[in-house]
Structure 1
Amino acid sequence: MGILNVTPDSFSDGGLHAGPEQAVRRGLRMADEGADLVDVGGESTRPGAEPVAVREELFRVMPVVRELVGAGVRVSVDTTHAEVARAAVEAGACLVNDVSGGLADPAMADVVAETGVPYVATHWRAPSREMDRHALYRDVVGEVTSELLRRVEHLTAAGVDPGRIVLDPGLGFSKRATHDWELLAHLHTLAAAGFPLLVGASRKRFIGAALGGCPGDEGAPQGRDAATAAVSALAAAAGAFCVRVHDVRSSLHAVCMAAAWTGAVEGSGEKGSAPVWP
């Protein structure tokens, strides 16, 4: 899944693709580089970010969604707003990626149920401007798993097909670096819940913290793509269904190496994992 931020304030590439023409060019390039989905988002979810009005989000997102869909690109929409999700799906988006797991907008579950598209429910505790205050856990893997399963219960009660739900542990959302690494190290535990997993680690703070002091580390988020690709390979080998990244090509190559690795393990008779598109 390629990340296409049509925002002025995203943590890594805010403003680079804020105009529709630049955004469409970037989306087409990601599709050419091998992205299975181009994830279009009009609201930054970086720590401390302020919310965006639905009208403004629609203004940012919809021209890009329409153009990419018209060009034959498989598009997902990255939004916490039900109105934006519905408009994007009606324009041809084939998946809704909601970093709030439906908590930010009570109408989201109904929209997903009505449209029938696959839905990514991310672990989330609070809006961006206050999420760091909620990074308190005794057992981060257990708590994230149980909180995600409560979201699944809510979604299915609203009529969402459980076979079309993807779970995301929400790396960086109300989590410190130690929490992020522990979740990644226990993806198998999350996968045991029976849902495909999406991992969104790309260029995030915990990767930067791990790189600190490494030779050649430039400190800026844009310098974390090689490290992101390494996390993508490890996540894929651990059974992740999808990785969400800024730099498509490096992570695609990394995931191909993970597939070759796990294929060799499966060929030797050891147990492997093969998540299926919902």
Structure 2
Amino acid sequence: MKNLSGRGEVAGLPTWDRCAVMGVVNVTPDSFSDGGRWFDTTAAVKHGLGLAAEGADLVDVGGESTRPGATRVDEAEELRRVVPVVRGLAAEGVTVSVDTMRAAVAEQALAAGAVLVNDVSGGLADPAMLPVVAATGAPFVVMHWRGLLEGGNVRGVYEDVVTEVCDELHARVEAVLAAGVAPERVVIDPGLGFSKDAEHDLTVLAHLDRLHALGHPLLVAASRKRFLGHVLAGPGGTTPPARERDAATAAVSALAAHAGAWAVRVHEVRATADAVRVARAVEGAR
């Protein structure tokens, strides 16, 4: 199923005639980009509402950092962080996704008003995830994943990164469909920064057309990631901190939108909201 811009649409979610913008709310003390700033429920809800006001079409709420080297929190703590924020945002009419690798968190977040499950493991981290998603009928983001990053950059070795990412994503999507998730509810994500170095990330971004060939809407999550720091590094090789990579993130958002991405996931919304609208205007002028 295609929308006016040919980006694909996701059953159960609103449709847009341009690349959608997914804003990030990290309810964690240790996120790589904004750790601790929105750890309080009230502050997190306020931040999510602010992202929506700045142009976010969806707000992605997560309670567990997936940065390299991060230690996993327990299920009870993740639930405590995530569910009240999801409930608060959904009550204000925000379209909410939940960023989790745990089935129980996904299930309770969906009950609290979330409408999309964004699992960086694509259902591999928790065997109960796919049955929960299938039973609830929720749309599901399947990311390219080669394991938890507690030990650093896990298995980031490729002979042909684009082919291998596409093949591994295809296999994972087939498993998701076999578990009962409807094909029109599947979104794919190439997993920039996960088991990939800067060269891998840039190569994948340069070949998003290969990912489109898998036949599902595409989410691109490049915001503030390490590869942008490498691109922006000064003469001495010093990389700017994560929060100084927003202009570069907006540039990737424009490129991804031009390449047909369904959505981009970003921490700073305003510049990316402008970028995707400009990309759509240029498309419309053809």
Q: Contact conserved, 2:223 with 2:246, CA < 8 A, in 1?
A: yes
Deviation of the 1:130 alpha carbon: 2.7
User: Per-residue deviation at 1:34?
Assistant: 1.2
Q: Is the 8 A contact 1:24 1:67 kept in 2?
A: yes
Q: Is 1:46 matched with 2:46?
A: no
Task: Give the aligned partner of residue 206 of structure 2.
Answer: 185
Shift of 1:218: 7.2
State which of 128, 139, 144 in structure 2 corresponds to 1:118: 139
Structure 1 position 20 matched with structure 2 position 41:
yes
What's the secondary structure of 1:132's corresponding residue? coil
Kept in 2: contact 1:233–1:254 (CA 8 A): yes
For residue 158 of structure 1, what is the aligned residue in structure 2?
Answer: 179
Residues 229 and 239 of structure 2 are in contact (CA less than 8 Å); yes or no, is this contact kept in structure 1?
Answer: no
Conservation of the 8 A alpha-carbon contact between 1:125 and 1:131: no
Alignment-mate amino acid for residue 194 of structure 2: F
Maintained 8 Å contact 1:101/1:120:
yes
Residue segments in structure 2 that go unaligned for 5+ positions in a row: 1-21
Q: TM-score, normalised by structure 1?
A: 0.93
- The amino acid of 1:52's aligned partner reads V
Higher helix content, 1 or 2: 1
Question: In the alignment, what sits opposite 1:138?
Answer: 159
Alignment of 1:98-109 (within 5 A): 98-109=119-130
Deviations 1:113-164 (A, max 9, x none): 0111111010000102135131010111111111111111111111100110
Structure 2 Cα separation of the partners of residues 173 and 68 of structure 1: 28
SS at structure 2 position matched to 1:138: coil
Task: Give the TM-score normalised by the residue count of structure 2.
Answer: 0.90
| 2:237 matches 1:222 | no
CA distance in structure 1 between the aligned counterparts of 2:75 and 2:214, rounded to whole angstroms:
33
Deviations 1:172-192 (A, max 9, x none): 000000000000000001101
What does residue 72 of structure 1 align with? 93
* Distance (Å, rounded) in 1 between the aligned partners of 2:43 and 2:283: 38
Report which stretch shifted further, 131-140 or 173-182: 131-140
Q: 2:78 aligns with which of 57, 73, 78?
A: 57
Structure 1 segments (4+ residues) deviating >3 Å: none
Is the partner of 1:174 in helix, strand or coil?
Answer: coil
Shift of 1:220: 1.0
User: For 1:226-269, what per-residue CA distance to the aligned partner results, in whole angstroms no more than 9, with x for missing partners?
Assistant: 1100000000000100000001110010011111122223xxxx
- 1:257 aligned residue: 278
Aligned counterpart, 1:203: 224
Q: Is the 8 A contact 1:131 1:173 kept in 2?
A: no
User: Following the alignment from structure 1 to structure 2, what is the Cα–Cα distance between the partners of residues 137 and 39?
Assistant: 30
State the alpha-carbon separation in 1 of the partners of residues 183 and 247 from structure 2: 34
The equivalent residue for 1:269 is none
Structure 1 range deviating more: 205-214 or 88-97:
205-214
Q: Does 1:81 align with 2:89?
A: no
| Matches of 1:68 and 1:241, distance apart in 2 | 22
Aligned length: 264
Match of 2:264 among 243, 249, 267: 243
Q: Is the 8 A contact 1:199 1:243 kept in 2?
A: yes
| Runs of 5+ consecutive residues of structure 1 not aligned to the other structure | 266-278
Structure 2 CA distance, aligned partners of 1:90 and 1:20?
18
Residue 96 of structure 1 corresponds to which residue in structure 2? 117
Over the matched positions of the two proteins, sequence identity in percent amounts to 61
Which protein has greater RCO, CA pairs closer than 8 Å, 6+ apart? 2
Asked whether the equivalents of residues 98 and 120 of structure 1 are also in contact (C-alpha less than 8 Å), the reply is yes
CA RMSD of aligned residues (A): 1.3
- Look up the SS of the partner of 2:70 in the other structure: coil
* Matches of 1:262 and 1:104, distance apart in 2: 39
